[in-house]
Amino acid sequence: MLDLFADTPPWQEPLGPGATILRRRALAEADALLSGIASVSAQSPFRQMVTPGGYTMSVAMTNCGTVGWTTDMHGYLYAGVDPHTGQHWPPMPPAFLPFAQACAREAGYDHFQPDACLINRYAPGAKLSLHQDKDEKALREPIVSVSLGLPAVFQFGGLKRNDPLQRVLLEHGDVVVWGGESRLYYHGIQPLKEGHHPVTGAFRYNLTFRHT
């Protein structure tokens, strides 16, 4: 039978074991998520963090939630206080938690309770080198990653750094959820191409919800 809804947003694409792309899942919530990002970054501004090795990251970051991901001279850590402002990270805006939980549930992860949301801002040229998200203690919980604005090429590999990479274009409103067997898979973002997005201008924003 002809499925009239097959290409109607949102739709799901399998990415790997325990990993799913919810295409355009955030379209309806995009305005609320972007105004949430604006209010968080008014309190805890975007900044380019410096890695323990002394390298300034090209992606600008801030956080909301009870803890936030940050760096110091010794390593990467979750902290309750934004080292830049000396204040607690802003709480998650009201739209964030229910949206992240709904996405997790649709990808097969019930009862997701994220306490941190890292907010990444990519300008043209910004990239995120291949890495594992391994600073969380709750490795049974998924990562819920929301893409807004300019498109970017997401690399998704395997447990070893040199495993073959899938490359998928993530567009405005796409959500990737990975957990279970793929929770520690290497992933990254290729350098952002120049562009103009009607909603976010010259930027791509990414939210990653984590249970730390």
Q: Tell me which residues touch ligand SIN (CB under 6 A).
A: 120, 128, 145, 147, 154, 187, 189, 206, 208
Binding at 189: pick from Fe ion, ligand SIN, none (beta carbon under 5-8 Å per type)? ligand SIN
Contact 169, 151 (CB under 8 A): yes
**Chain residue at closest Cβ approach to ligand SIN:** 206
Choice between 70 and 208, CB closer to ligand SIN:
208
Cβ atoms of 63 and 113 closer than 8 Å = no
Using CB under 5 A as the binding rule, whether residue 133 contacts Fe ion is answered as: yes
Scanning 3-11, 80-88, 125-133, 191-199 for contacts with Fe ion by CB under 5 A, the matching segment is: 125-133
Question: Which residue, judged by CB position, is nearest to Fe ion in the bound state?
Answer: 133
Q: Under a CB-based contact definition with an 8 Å cutoff, are residues 116 and 67 in contact?
A: yes
Q: How far is CA 202 from CA 26, 46, 60, 143, in A?
A: 19, 15, 14, 26
Residues 6 or more apart whose CB falls under 8 angstroms from that of 184 comprise 132, 133, 134, 139, 159
Considering the complex, what minimum distance in angstroms separates the CB of residue 42 from ligand SIN?
21
Query: Least distance (Å) from ligand SIN to the CB of residue 119?
Result: 10
Q: Which residue, 4, 152, 170, 20, is CA-closest to 12?
A: 20
The C-alpha atoms of residue 17 and residue 1 are separated, in whole angstroms, by 29
Minimum distance between the CB of residue 199 and ligand SIN, rounded to whole angstroms?
A: 17
Q: Which is nearer to ligand SIN, 87 or 181 (CB)?
A: 181
